[in-house]
Amino acid sequence: MADDIDIQQHIRGLIDEEHSLRGKLGVGEISVEEENQRLRTLEVELDQCWDLLRQRRAKREFGEDPSGAQVRDAGTVENYRG
């Protein structure tokens, strides 16, 4: 992902897919198990994208190059404590 706009567009695409999955489940095109499996994957990918945006913004705020931010592994972004 090249820049913030690309990341934001990817996030929108993931959210659109999430809504589509819920619609498909509602009309019986997919099973609950299929929906849940894909939703888990989407949630991790969304968390990674949001984390990447936060990293880029922090680097920019402190005068660093935002392109140095990297996607962190699922285990890292899924184990954050709020």
Q: Encode pLDDT of 29-60 as tens digits.
A: 999 999 999 999 999 999 999 999 999 999 99
pLDDT at position 80: 73
Chain centroid to CA 59: 19
- pLDDT, residue 82, reads 53
The pLDDT of residue 73 is 93
What pLDDT does residue 31 have? 95
Sign, CA torsion 52/82/79/32: negative
The secondary structure of residue 73, as a DSSP letter, is: P
- Biggest CA–CA distance in the chain, Å, is 51
Q: What is the DSSP letter of 71?
A: P
Confidence of residue 4 (pLDDT cuts 50, 70, 90): very high
Which residues are within 8 A (CB) of 54 and not within 5 positions of it... i.e. 6 or more apart?
A: none
Q: How many domains does the chain have?
A: 1
Domain that holds residue 46: 4-78
